[in-house]
Amino acid sequence: MAGGPRDGAPRDGAAPHEYRVVGREQVYQGRVIELVRDTVAMPGGGDSVREVVHHPGAVAVVALDEQDRVVLLRQYRHPVGGYLWELPAGLRDTDGEPPAQTARRELAEEVRLAAERWSLLTTTYSTPGFCDELVLVYLAEGLSDTEVPEGFTLEHEELDMQVERVPLAEAVQRVLDGDIRNAAAVIGLLAAAQARATGARLRPVEAT
C-alpha cells in the first residue's frame, strides 16, 4: 500500500528508532483498508500490542481560480453521519499511478477541471495514532474546464455532491468557524492562505 513506513523503517533520512515489530496478526482485510494487530518491542523493555489500520493513502487538491476562489465540495460521509465541505480528493488506489497524476485525475473526475500549474502544499498523516494514511495536498492554479476522464461515472455519495467556488479568505474563516472540518481541507486551505500571504516556497509537484 502507498501509506507511511512500516516495521520501524525510517523515512526521509530520519534517525532509526528502537521500536521493533516482533509479531503481526491480520484481523481484517477490506476493500480499502487492512486492520492488523502488531506486537511491538518497547525500547525500555517488554512489548505492547498496537492495532493498526493500513491505508493506501490519498490526495487532495486546493484548486484556486484567477479570482482567488477555491473549489469546495459538499459530500455526505457515512462515518460521521452528515455532510462535510471538502476539497476534490481521492484514494491512491490505482496501482503504479504517481500521486500527482491521481490528483490531476480526481480534479477532472469530481469537478471537471484541469490546471496549468501544480505544487505540493503539504503531506500529512491523517490519524497516526492508529492509521498510516498519508495525504498529499496539492495546490492547482490556472484552472480550465476539461472533460470527465473516459470510463468514469459518478456513483453513490458522489451523485449527491454540491460544488461551489468560495473566496479563499472566506474558506479560511469557515475553517475557523468550524464549518469546514475535513482534515485535508482544513490543512490545505490554511496552508494555501499562508503561502499566498507570505510567498512561502512550495515543493515541486513531483515531491512526496
Cβ neighbourhood burial of 139 (10 Å; 0-12, 13-18, 19+) = buried
For residue 136, how many other CB atoms are within 10 A of its CB?
25
Q: How many residues does the chain have?
A: 208
Rg (CA), the chain: 19
Report angle CA 66, 69, 72 to the nearest 5 degrees: 135
Is 158 known to be catalytic? yes
Measured N-to-C along each axis, helices 183-198 and 168-177 cross at an angle, to the nearest 10 degrees, of 130
First vs last C-alpha separation in the chain: 15
For residue 203, how many other CB atoms are within 10 A of its CB?
15
Q: What is the DSSP string of 130-199?
A: TB--EEEEEEEEEEEE-PPPTT----GGGGG-EEEEEEHHHHHHHHHHTS---HHHHHHHHHHHHHHHH-
- Among candidate residues 158, 164, 170, 206, the one labeled active-site is 158
Which residues does the annotation mark as catalytic? Answer: 158
